[in-house]
Amino acid sequence: MSHLIEFLESAAAKLTGLSQEDYARAVAALDIPQELRDALLARDADAINRIVDAGVPMMMILAPAENHPNDDRAPAEKDDEDDDTSKDD
Amino acid sequence: MSGGGSLVCVGVGMTLGAHLAARARRFIEQAQTVFVLVSDRLVEQWVQGMNADVRSLQPLYAEGKSRHDTYREMHDLVMTEVRAGRQVCAAFYGHPGVFAKVPHELVASARAEGFDAHMEAGVSAEDCLYADLGIDPGRVGCQHYEATQFLINQRLIDPSAYLILWQPSLAGDRSLSRHATGAAWRALLVERLLRDYPADHLLTIYEAATLAVVPPRVESLRLDQLLDAELRLQSTLVIPPSRPVRPDPVMLARLADLESATRLPPAPSLQGKQPCPT
């Protein structure tokens, strides 16, 4: 897999994309499973990730949809308490 | 980094190998412990190749588990290492401080406990969106909301500016434990948007490229087609203006009055005069 990562890092660093022929040659030279090679040639991000993730999809949620259920106080009220807490620290 | 525990939160950008700043990379390489939370396995493995001690935060997510618990566990894991006196780097996809609760809380907690802590800016999905879709947010303005926050609060939407909704695949998930919401939730999102936009208004589903060899997803559809559209965790909804900006005649008149009152006298004419020697 390290070959693939080096290839992707190198592809990202190039100022212009490879021609389709050069790209196909570069992918063919990678030491990776055939299905991953096919996904790369198809430029299919879903397939690439499916193969690499081995059936365990990555999560990428970091934004809370809302405040914590126990944290429904008005902002001013919360700020007051936060200030008190920071002083205690 | 020197002496005692410390923390830096960095962003690796959206596209593997394309966005990681030299400074952020050095923080990853030189940290004693690196925590990583990124968009896909290849990016995670890429970061793992930069330091001998890289620990993924991914296993803390689970379907049916409240993300509040996940965020708290992420926070506690990282802070445990900082408190142990280690120089810690936490690497997140995109920008660590954009639509990301944990990195902000980590920096605040570490500072409150007396540790050196800061955040390094990264290239966010928003940055990629502007480049890929050719949008300048300064031209007519741009509103950003997390989709559930947009749905559950009485937001005043200005349809003469862009509206960008993040995480629309989770719109309306108040449990914070689902990995996607269903058609009934999506119907409420469409209903809410129909208050401000016509049914045939064209929207864009956008997904930034995480690999340089794969193009970003840019898919146009009408608002009334959104119900059946494929939305994924990484999808963002871009809603362009539906009407022109409306000037405010009262404010324009007041500004004109100000201009008149403060106008500088005209510069003396140089016509017929010799230019000053230089």
> For B88-98, how does the pLDDT look when each residue is reduced to its tens digit (9 = 90+)?
999 999 999 99
Contact B238, B203 (CB under 8 A): yes
When CB atoms are compared, the residue of A48, A54, A63 closest to B166 is A63
Question: For residue B142, what are the contacts with CB-CB under 8 A and spacing of at least 6?
Answer: B135, B161, B162, B163, B164
Q: Across the interface, do B17 and A10 touch by the CB < 8 Å criterion?
A: yes
> In this predicted complex, what is the ipTM?
0.76
Task: Report the Cα B8 to chain-centroid distance in Å.
Answer: 19
Residue, of B40 and B224, whose pLDDT is higher: B224
Which residues in chain A are closer than 8 Å to B37, comparing Cβ atoms? 60, 62
Which residues in chain B are closer than 8 Å to A43, comparing Cβ atoms? 213-215
Rounded alpha-carbon distances, angstroms, from residue B41 to B111, B152, B236: 31, 33, 21
When CB atoms are compared, the residue of A10, A60, A69 closest to B233 is A60
DSSP-assigned beta bridge partners for residue B145: B165
Question: Which pLDDT value is given to residue B159?
Answer: 98
Which residues in chain A are closer than 8 Å to B15, comparing Cβ atoms? 12
Which residues in chain A are closer than 8 Å to B44, comparing Cβ atoms? 58
Q: What is the pTM of this model?
A: 0.84
When CB atoms are compared, the residue of B58, B99, B214 closest to A45 is B214
Chains A and B form CB pairs within 8 A to the count of: 114
Q: What share of chain A is helix, strand, coil (3-state, %, to 5)?
A: 60, 0, 40
B93 carries an active-site annotation: yes
Contact B128, B208 (CB under 8 A): yes
B67 carries an active-site annotation: yes
- B117-169 pLDDT, tens digit each: 999 999 999 999 999 999 999 999 999 999 999 999 999 999 999 999 999 99
Please name the residue that has the structure tokens 């290849």: B42
Residues B189, B109: Cα–Cα separation, whole Å = 35
Closest by Cα among B111, B119, B71 to B95: B119
DSSP-assigned beta bridge partners for residue B207: B217
B173: left (phi over 0), alpha (psi -120 to 50) or beta: beta
Closest by Cα among B237, B233, B235, B236 to B61: B233
Q: Across the interface, do B146 and A10 touch by the CB < 8 Å criterion?
A: no
